[in-house]
Amino acid sequence: MNLTLGIINNIHDWLFGVMPEGMAAIVEMILIALVYLGIFSVVGLFLVLMERRVAAWFQLRIGPNRVGFQGLLQTVADALKLVSKELTGTTKADKFLYNLAPYFVIISSLMALAVFPFTKDFQAFDINIGIFFLIAISSIGVIGILLGGWASNNKFALIGAMRSGVQTISYELSIGLSLLTMVLIAGSLQLSEIVEVQKNGWLIVQGHLPAIIAFMIFMISGTAETNRAPFDMVEAESELGAGFHTEYSGMKFAYFFLAEFINMFIIAAIATTVFFGGWLSPFGLTESIPWLGVFWFLSKTLVLVFLIMWFRWTFPRLRVDQLLTLEWKYLLPINLVNMVVMAFIVWLNLTIQF
């Protein structure tokens, strides 16, 4: 990591040496954006492969294992195939909105990716309202889905989009409140500071009971927010065809698909940062080697991603009314009470510190 940081600094100096200041800043921003796009696509493709392998494992199959070592190149091949496919569309669709929708979804998830501290020095945008920014961004993604469903001029797509809207708006509340519960104990909205606080024990340990409840609520509502099974009413195959992206093909479909997996990664990454100490190693094991932070961050995140996949292949799909009952009658009251309990614990200093 020191080597990479050195290279990054060299590039930075070189850029500002060769070009005028404003130009160099813009070029640097573009370079960073390209790096994040790279991370984005690699993570997305890897997660698709992981999902397929995990699904296969749960169903006692082998899964894709032919292309590359253990099927590692399978999703790359799939992506190439999707790029080369024809982009079809319905004639009576609203072309402008129909083409705009995938970009909404993908840009919102890409923006969310920018604020995560992968390790101490690897963070694109250390904004002082980090968590709040994440919540704000995640509320925009749903607009893409609503647009896509409506502009396709297809009633199944429309129903899927409506369901998605209901689901996302309801569960956003739970996500916000459960994160707010953790902000109470962390005392800051800035993601890097939240990680710093956890040097005396991860927040899920520091906040013991209410933190664990908040974590459970966060995982449930996070799964619902990303429209994954058991909450995938949006694209319930047996009822709606493919839901809001029925009419999409080729790369536009792939955008929706990738964005779903990236959103899953983002939910897991938020949980890692807020509950499990981000890039901190357990018990300060490798504190002397800072570049291992990326390893810890990614491994914690992948464990949580595996948890979400586990949900998917274990639970049957809920009905819409069951979903809304779960949110408004159970999760929301539990969350509010939980927040008060957490406030008391922080107030009376009952947190566990190492």
Binding residues for other proteins (CB under 8 A):
92-94, 96-97, 100, 127-129, 132-133, 135-137, 139-140, 142-143, 146-147, 150-151, 153, 158, 161-163, 165-166, 169, 172, 189, 320-321, 324
What are 253's two structure tokens? 């479909």
Torsion angle of the four alpha carbons 306, 205, 135, 166, in this order, in degrees rounded to the nearest 10 = 60
Q: Which is nearer to other proteins, 169 or 209 (CB)?
A: 169
Alpha helices (runs of H) in 19-129, residue ranges in sequence order: 21-58, 74-84, 95-113
Q: Which is nearer to other proteins, 138 or 206 (CB)?
A: 138
Q: Which is nearer to other proteins, 45 or 332 (CB)?
A: 332
Residue 123's identity, in one-letter code, is Q
Q: Which residues contact 41 (CB under 8 A, 6 or more apart)?
A: 79, 258
> In whole angstroms, how close is the CB of 172 to other proteins at the nearest point?
8
> In whole angstroms, how close is the CB of 189 to other proteins at the nearest point?
6
> In whole angstroms, how close is the CB of 325 to other proteins at the nearest point?
9
Q: Which is nearer to other proteins, 173 or 292 (CB)?
A: 173
Say how many C-beta atoms besides its own lie within 10 A of residue 17's C-beta: 8
What are 301's two structure tokens? 């995140």
Give the three-class secondary structure for 16: helix
Q: Which is nearer to other proteins, 76 or 129 (CB)?
A: 129
Give the three-class secondary structure for 47: helix
Contact (Cβ atoms closer than 8 angstroms) between residue 110 and residue 36 = yes
Q: Which residues contact 129 (CB under 8 A, 6 or more apart)?
A: 189, 190
Cβ-based burial of 168 (10 A; exposed 0-12, middle 13-18, buried ≥19): buried
> In whole angstroms, how close is the CB of 156 to other proteins at the nearest point?
14
> In whole angstroms, how close is the CB of 280 to other proteins at the nearest point?
23
Q: Which is nearer to other proteins, 75 or 174 (CB)?
A: 174
Give the three-class secondary structure for 13: helix
- In degrees and rounded to multiples of 5, residue 19 shows phi and psi of -110, 165
Q: Which is nearer to other proteins, 8 or 197 (CB)?
A: 197
> In whole angstroms, how close is the CB of 61 to other proteins at the nearest point?
36
Q: Which is nearer to other proteins, 24 or 127 (CB)?
A: 127
Half-sphere exposure of 354 (CA within 13 A, CB side): 12
Contact (Cβ atoms closer than 8 angstroms) between residue 283 and residue 200 = no
d(CA 329, CA 249): 38
